[in-house]
Amino acid sequence: MADTEFYKTNRTVPTDSSIPLITTDLDSVRAYQFEVQFTNAPEIDAQEATLAAKSVGTTGFSVADIVVNRVNDKVHYPGKPSPESLTITFDNILRDTVDKDLWDWFKGTYDPMTGHLGAMADQKIASMKVHQLNHDLTIRGSTVYYGVYPTSYKLAEFNYATDEFHTIEVTFRYDFMEQTSKIG
């Protein structure tokens, strides 16, 4: 909850006919201001590549509890941590080969044509970053995922009845994550 003194000191109500100045210091990060950057993805031909993403699903870490039953009480300790999967919906852009690049990367995990399971050491990338952007599109902070590899590849529906752009949905697994901020 914000301090009421903040509003008193940071909001100016003019006495003439101009528009009042309203503070933007308490604005939240916008859900639509982000970009996705890959580092050393095996099938994407750049050291760092930023792909057009339509949405990034919810993700995070959870820690299972270890419950210890004592004589008259129950004590909880942090147990095994487990990362959740991350689903990103990419735009299937006409001038790029993002659909084939993502598919080739996924085939390194499992190739349905040969039944070959890939070596994870070859398919995991160093990091994938989801950058949260400020209103002026500068990077405000990032969620960095380490040891990332694709586990699912799905093309969106092709349909004459819609006028939406085509997308590719890829689900990723990762070993670790870190939340960074460029504020403060």
Q: Which residue has tokens 């890959």?
A: 38
Q: Other CB atoms closer than 10 Å to residue 127's CB: what's the count?
A: 19
Residue 125: the pLDDT is 83
Q: Other CB atoms closer than 10 Å to residue 150's CB: what's the count?
A: 22
pTM, entire model: 0.74
- What the chain holds in terms of domains, given with CATH numbers, is 25-181 (2.30.110)
Residue 84: the pLDDT is 92
Residue 172: the pLDDT is 93
Closest of 37, 7, 29 to residue 131, by C-alpha = 37
Residue 140: the pLDDT is 87
Residue 1: the pLDDT is 45
> Within 13 Å and on the Cβ side, how many CA atoms surround 156?
16
Residue 113: the pLDDT is 84
Q: What are the pLDDT digits (tens) for 88-128? A: 998 887 777 788 888 888 888 888 888 877 765 567 888 89
Q: Is 6 helix (H, G, I), strand (E, B) or coil?
A: helix
Which pair of tokens denotes residue 154? 């799905």
Low-confidence ranges of the chain (pLDDT < 70): 1-31, 42-47, 119-122, 184
Spacing of C-alpha 12 from chain mean position: 37
Q: Is 10 helix (H, G, I), strand (E, B) or coil?
A: helix
DSSP 86-151: EEEEEE--TTS-HHHHHHHHHHHHEETTTTEEPPHHHH-EEEEEEEEE-TTS-EEEEEEEEEEEEE
Q: Which residue has tokens 């002026």?
A: 136
The partner residues of 75 in beta bridges, in order of sequence, read 68
